[in-house]
Amino acid sequence: MCGIVGYTGTRQAGPILIGGLEKLEYRGYDSAGISINDGNGIKIAKALGRLAMLEGITDGGRKLRGTAGLGHTRWATHGRPSDANSHPHLSQTGRIAVVHNGIIENYRVLKEMLINRGRVFVSETDTEVATQLIDFYYEGDLLRAVHRAMNDIEGAYALGIMCADDPDTLIAVRKQAPLIVAYGEGENYFASDVTAVLEHTKRVSYLSDGEIAVLTPGEVKFYDSFLQPVEKQVEIIDWDVSAAEKGGYEHFMIKEILEQPRALRDTVSPRIRDGKIVFEGIELDADYIRGIDWIYIVACGSSYHVGVVAKYNIERIVRKPVQVVLASEFRYSEPLVTGNTLAIMISQSGETADTIAALREAKRLGARTLAIVNVVGSTIAREADDVLYTWAGPEIAVATTKAYSTQLAVTYLLTLYFAECCGRITESELAAYLEELNRIPDKLEEICSKREHVQYLASLYFSADNIFFIGRNIDYALSLEGSLKLKEISYICSEAYAAGELKHGTISLIEDDTPVVAVMTSRRLMEKTASNAEEVKARGARVLAVTTESLRKEAERVADNVIAIPDSSDMFLPSLAIVPMQLFSYYVAVSRGCNIDKPRNLAKSVTVE
């Protein structure tokens, strides 16, 4: 959701803050602002709309002079998007400025208390309550004022705070919302995400819930919720800075689609050694895996769709029961958990609020937890019993591509590892699977090299108002993700259905010229899915088939257009089939003139419920 960046040092803060906010645009926002202490007080500039508006009125941040400041991109929750509701918020006295990500749940009670004590509010936001509350408690010691306010505030928040009385000092606070501190030479930073600071430093620490960081140019001090000093580990981020840049591509999304062959190699290759799957740093031994009685896969959005694919693979090969649950529903479903239950949490950012809550609930109920995440040191990574990183590198486009694909790859490795531990596959079968998995990146490169064909097909379908995706089994799981990609960035009403359910109501939506994407990569289900494609075509639909080279001729008999991917093991076909669907969504959205990397109303990381 909202993006936060703070800087204190010897350089002019304005351009650094604007540059950091540019790197956080992917999180989604409707306004932006910066505050800088110039030694004579706190100066604020903020603007409704895209960051370019703020850049324009501040000359890229240069008009606000000073070497310490806060930056923010806001996603409206309390109060409509407006200049008044934009961050940073300044207290009534002008002493305290605050930026905030999250939701203050008891802000109405606190606001009423402050109004009764003479405070005047100028916005509709919950954030201004935090600003006024800190000022209310301020008696010359900013740290103690922040600490007192934290004891009153309920909810999830990451706060950045500055005080007019201390121009070089910033305070960062975290509770159930992501916040990192980063270290430079004679300067220090905090931000919602490491991408905001990568061009300046790769040395970071991750704040835990309830912790406070006090930043000055020369040092950073950490305190727990009792104001006791805390020592923090310094992590080195090994992401390439260029991975967070467009590198000549028109959009981050197409760049990240084309990065998937490399991303899969980086995810898979280090974990295959001498014909064996090696997971370093986790303690899921064979005895435990054999004793698992139930597996929950818990996730949101595209990560949930990864879980649906994984369910089909695990149940078919490992023969363990798997339930895939939306993270937002897990806590409220009263899940049946035993000491032999494994809960797998999947999240790109590792900061997805619903998935964090589900992780904590699973642990409370006694399940063992395994996280699949991309961001080292994230909340889910720290709190899970075991963690597997996808090593996808930074993903900037809101619509996920390479994060989805690398999550899939990790689930393949897990499936094969579980199957080996449970004696469900032989050594020769494992070797064959791993040999084929190592070939997947090369096959992805082949698909990407032929993307002009997908671009041409997108030109035939981009004007549609509705598009349907159909498939069976893993092809249905693929349909879910293909449909989501299309609706996310093109704004076409797109829905995915299990092909066998067409006659149970869905087929009534088919009329002349309705596009239907029929995913038919499974040979054993080809005949049935082809029959479903014929049913919709008989009712006027235009059918675009996604299939394999060996099934191309069968698909051509029922489809108007065909995209064929290289043949592979059924387990790995989702990694191949999803790429043309990502490309199709991208080129459709381009043809419609949409904002590809920043689709409306969406945020990259959903850090509130």
Active site residues: 2, 604
| CA gap 421, 604 in Å, rounded | 36
Q: What are 590-594's contacts with CB under 8 Å, separation 24+?
A: 590/251, 590/458, 591/458, 591/459, 591/462, 592/462, 592/490, 592/491, 592/492, 594/489, 594/490, 594/491
Locate 276 and state its tokens.
């064996």
Q: How far is it, in rounded angstroms, from Cα 68 to Cα 90?
A: 15
Cα–Cα nearest to 412, from 372, 470, 383, 379: 372
Looking up tokens 């619903």 gives 354
Q: Are 86 and 78 spatial neighbours (Cβ–Cβ below 8 Å)?
A: no
Q: What is the DSSP string of 289-313?
A: HHH--EEEEEE-HHHHHHHHHHHHH
Phi, psi of 108 (to 5 degrees): -65, -45
First to last CA, the chain: 11
Q: Please answer whether residues 545 and 581 qualify as being in contact, where contact means their C-beta atoms are separated by less than 8 angstroms.
A: no
CA angle 392, 395, 396 (to 5 degrees): 170
- Helix/strand/coil (H, E, C) string of 418-457? HHHHCCCCCHHHHHHHHHHHHHHHHHHHHHHHCHHHHHHH
Contact yes or no for 194/204 (Cβ under 8 A):
yes
Angle between helix axes 260-268 and 402-421 (nearest 10 degrees) is 30
d(C-alpha 54, C-alpha 43), whole Å: 14
Which residues of 91-230 form beta strands (DSSP E)? 96-104, 155-163, 170-175, 180-183, 188-191, 203-206, 212-215, 220-223, 229-230
Chain-centroid distance of CA 64 in Å reads 32
The four Cα atoms 458, 461, 462, 467 give a dihedral, to 10 degrees, of: -120
Beta strands in 75-129 (DSSP E): 89-90, 96-104
Q: How many C-beta neighbours within 10 Å does residue 233 have? A: 8
Q: Where are the alpha helices (DSSP H) in 259-373?
A: 260-268, 286-291, 301-317, 327-330, 353-364
Gap between the Cα atoms of 264 and 186, Å rounded: 38
Assess contact for 281 and 387: CB atoms under 8 A. Answer: yes
Tokens 């699977």 belong to 433
